[in-house]
Structure 1
Amino acid sequence: MAPYYFIAASVAVLAGLGTLMVLSASSVLAMYSGLDPYYYVTRQVLFLGVGLVFAVVFSRINADFIRRLGWPAWMLAVALLVLVLTPLGVSGGGNLNWLALGPVQFQPSEFAKLALIVWCGTVFHMKRGRLHEPAQLAIPLIPLGGLILALVLAGRDLGTGLVIGLILVLIMWFIGTPLRVMVPLGTAAAALVALLVYGSGNRMSRIAIFLDPQSNTDLSAQPMSALYALASGGWWGLGLGASRQKYGGLKDGAHTDYIFAVIGEELGLFGVLLVIALFGLLGWAGLAVAMRSDKMFNKVVAAGITGWFLTQAVINIFVVMHLLPVLGVPLPFVSSGGSALMASLMATGVLLALARDTPTARAYLAARKDKSRPRMTSVMAATKED
């Protein structure tokens, strides 16, 4: 049961730290926008509360029942992503990735990550005796998983598309897809990314800023401010709430995609290493669940969810450290954002359910249940004594 508790603890600390940092990083933007200083953190707490309810509910669901949700989840994800491309879709940050249903707006692509992973687990569970055949590895994963990826990219959201593409690659690698299949797919994916970047003036500008931050000081304000924030944090940081860059270049990104920079500025190297260590612990625990599981569905889904969290965290941190161009990918559990936070917490609930379904965990839970149940012989003996 150790992975179960490590997953729960690492996510709880990350979410708690994220809420605290959203409070610190967003207050300036809220006041500049004429809003209550606690506007963004109040929303974050609300989303966190709803997400925790989802996490608890999913963690108590039987893994076999979750497996049966694979195809319905895939179909729902495709339907919602198609709706984004209709007049119901709403643009945000230059991407068409929001869906407005009455007063509710959310990002279907965030929930599509979990739906895709659960669907992959269902598919490979059904094919578990034929995974030595390359065709069984590729179909229907590539065409139907690629459909979700294509719908996300149709909304011009390259960052989320990159994460989804990497999730698919990691799952294929985890189940043992041979290199003769992986290499052509990787080459085709790299060519597609290059084509998408070259065909977009905005993305080409981001690449230019990444290569030469001084070429456009307006567009490079956030990336350079993030580096200044990390550099000024020192060992222990300037103190909680003492960030200077949230007043300047970071602005509206301080509590979202660049919150890691504010952590480095206010909490220093200690805060940076703490976040990295927590993701490392989460990654170890998630992979432990995948390796210890005796069911193909559990293995694939645990590996997929863990790969999602780690991939997204690495991309976000690398962007902040100017090791990657700006991609608009939030830091899981930490960045402000309702859809991303709730989807991540739902996935955490699924991961916890799988952690409870490993052979060791099942034996432990059965022994604990048996120990807590009074034995019939003891009850009868007590009755005779009376």
Structure 2
Amino acid sequence: MTTSAATARRPRRTRKPTGLAAITTPLTAWLTRPLASFHLLLAVFGLLTVFGLVMVLSASSVDSFTSAGSSYDIFIRQVIYCGAGLVLFYGALRLPVRQMRKHSLTVFGGCLLLLLLVLTPLGSVRNGAQSWFVFGGISFQPVEFAKISFALWGAHVLVTKRGLLAQYRHLLVPVVPAAMLMFALVMLQPDLGSTITLFIVLLALMWFAGAPLRLFGVSVLGAITASVVLAMVAQYRMDRITTFLDPASDPTGRGYHARQALFALADGGLFGRGLGQGWSKWQYLPNAHNDFIFAVIGEELGFVGCVIVLVLFGTTAYVGMRIAARNTDPWIRLVAATLTAWLVGQAAINVGYVVGLLPITGLPLPLISSGGSSVVTTMLVFGLLANFARHEPEAIAALRSLGPGRVGKLLRLSTPEPYRPPAKRRPARTAPTSRPGARSAGAQPTRRGSPDARNRTAARGKTGSRAQTRGGHR
């Protein structure tokens, strides 16, 4: 008995996790925290921004020195664009969600107007596309902001009509006609890459709204047909398709970009030649700091650097879908999932055509490629996702009970309001009318021959006889 009692009092030793469990157990415990989505998104956003600035400086140094006489010209402009993007990131982080949804139609209409104005003499032509506004040396593409506005407004329409989405006319109208109008305006520039990303936004809205699978089959078939028609209309699009099918057909002409990108990736090996030591940026690879910056990453940082980029975008996909899944507001859920699909889809297209899996479309790698409009809008999207992360029910409860925390105090963020579903509408009551002889709203119809009907008939008869008597006295 004494031995058993001593054994019972002896505390049990817990085994410490070893190997992979030693890493996954603390990570799983950290992910259960209320603000884990918010902090993880900020970490990915910071890493992608810093990584992008470093690679833009490395990839653009030769081109910048050749065109401007300074190796830091493109890099300085990229830093300025990142500063403007951080302002929008902070504004999106502080903007109330109800205000976003309330003014989504106004913002979407303004973006449609800009897409129309860019086709007038107010727009500028670059790389064969009239898709830019230039004011005082600052240029931007309105189509980048149109993607965000379309996601916000489309989610508002679909959530408002979510009880009627089983009917095709409510599911497709007015979202699909508005998307077709945007496709037409962008293709008039022409800009096939931006049209593809807008199509991704439309598909994401329909998918996460619960559209039937046969609708996506028709959409993909229509997209393939439209791509073939557009390729037959423009020769340069046909050249991209033929180059993708046979890169060696014209190695010094149409296939030059694709082959040089593959050579840069192959030259990097496992660990790369070293940061800043790549040869492709010495006029061998066109657009090295923009469309083909992933090839420069593979050459200078090797396979390991490419994996780091893919892991960062994979984490972005995870945390974006986590934010969508953990929210209770249906509009936040739809917008967060759509914006995440757009960002990750664009990154997948860029990596795909650099490694030779897709035809070249000219889409930049989000937050890593140089370019003002792309960087600014991507930072705006991260700001929206960070705002949505703070609206998770567990995050709101923690912020209200424990305070804003270190990050909230540093950024001076207010406590978000909890989601309240809209109140159910009561059936409208018909207002009583003052017309003589009209039945009130609460009155019940009486059948002929009932006691109530006989009493009313007798009362009318008495009233009529009194009126006749008064008339006789007159």
Q: Deviations over 1:137-181 (max 9, x none)?
A: 111110012211221111111011011101111220111101233
Residue 302 (structure 2) aligns with: 268
Alignment correspondent of 2:360: 326
CA distance in 1, matches of 2:242, 2:295: 21
Q: Note if contact 1:70-1:121 (Cα within 8 Å) is conserved in structure 2.
A: no
Structure 2 counterpart of 1:247: 282
**1:225 pairs with 2:225:** no
Distance 1:371 1:348 in 2: 20
Q: Matched residue of 2:42: which SS?
A: helix
Rounded to whole Å, the distance in 1 between the matches of 2:214 and 2:248 is 42
Superposed displacement of residue 182, structure 1: 2.6
Matched residue type, 1:248: Q
C-alpha change, 1:41 and 1:103, in structure 2 (3 Å) is closer
Q: 1:147 maps to which residue?
A: 181
Q: Does 1:335 align with 2:369?
A: yes
Say if 1:56 and 1:349, in contact at 8 Å, map to a contact too: yes
CA contact 2:275–2:300 (8 Å) conserved in 1 = yes
Task: Provide the rounded CA distance (Å) in 2 between the counterparts of 1:143 and 1:308.
Answer: 20
Aligned amino acid, residue 319 of structure 1: Y
The residue type equivalent to 1:221 in the other structure is Y
Q: Does 1:287 align with 2:305?
A: no
Q: TM-score, normalised by structure 1?
A: 0.93
Partner Cα distance (2:318, 2:333) in 1:
14
Q: Which amino acid aligns with 1:255?
A: H
More moved, 211-220 vs 357-366: 211-220
1:345-379 deviations in whole A, cap 9, x for unaligned? 1111111111111212111211222999xxxxxxx
1:380 aligns with none
Residue identity (%):
38
Q: Distance in 2 between matches of 1:170 and 1:326?
A: 22
Which residue of the other structure, out of 331, 347, 362, is the alignment partner of 1:297? 331
- Residue 92 of structure 2 is aligned to residue 58 of structure 1: yes
Task: Describe how 1:123-272 pairs up with structure 2 within 5 A.
Answer: 123-216=157-250, 217-251=252-286, 253-272=287-306
Length, aligned pairs only: 371
Contact persistence 2:350–2:365 (CA under 8 A): yes
Distance (Å, rounded) in 1 between the aligned partners of 2:180 and 2:135: 26
Secondary structure of residue in 1 paired with 2:162:
coil
Q: What root-mean-square deviation, in Å, do the aligned CA atoms of Structure 1 and Structure 2 show?
A: 1.6
Residue pair 1:128, 1:296 contacting (<8 A) in 2 also: no
Q: Do the aligned residues in 2 keep the contact of 1:124 with 1:296 (CA within 8 Å)? A: no
Aligned to 2:18: none
Is the contact between residue 265 and residue 296 of structure 2 (CA under 8 Å) also seen in structure 1?
Answer: yes
In structure 2, distance between residues paired with 1:326 and 1:182:
24
Aligned AA for 2:300? E
Larger Rg: 2
User: If each structure's helix is expressed as a fraction of its own residues, which one has the higher value?
Assistant: 1
Counterparts of 1:230 and 1:102, CA distance in 2: 38
Counterpart amino acid of 2:323? V
2: CA distance between counterparts of 1:140 and 1:197?
Answer: 28
Query: Alpha carbons of 1:293 and 1:370: their partners in 2 closer, same or farther (altered >3 Å)?
Result: closer
Structure 1 match to 2:32:
none
Match of residue 381 from structure 1: none
Query: What pairs with 1:73-88 in structure 2 (closer than 5 Å)?
Result: 73-88=107-122
TM-score normalised by structure 2 residue count? 0.76
1:69–1:118 contact (8 Å) kept in structure 2? no
Alignment correspondent of 2:401: 367
Q: Could you list the runs of 5+ residues in structure 2 that have no partner in the other structure?
A: 1-34, 407-474
Q: Deviations over 1:187-206 (max 9, x none)?
A: 22221121111111011111
Deviation at 1:183, TM superposition (A): 2.3
> Distance between the aligned counterparts of 1:313 and 1:31, measured in 2?
28
- Following superposition, the deviation at residue 86 of structure 1 comes to 0.6
Tell whether the 8 Å contact from 2:399 to 2:405 is kept in structure 1 after alignment: no
Match of 2:346 among 308, 312, 319: 312
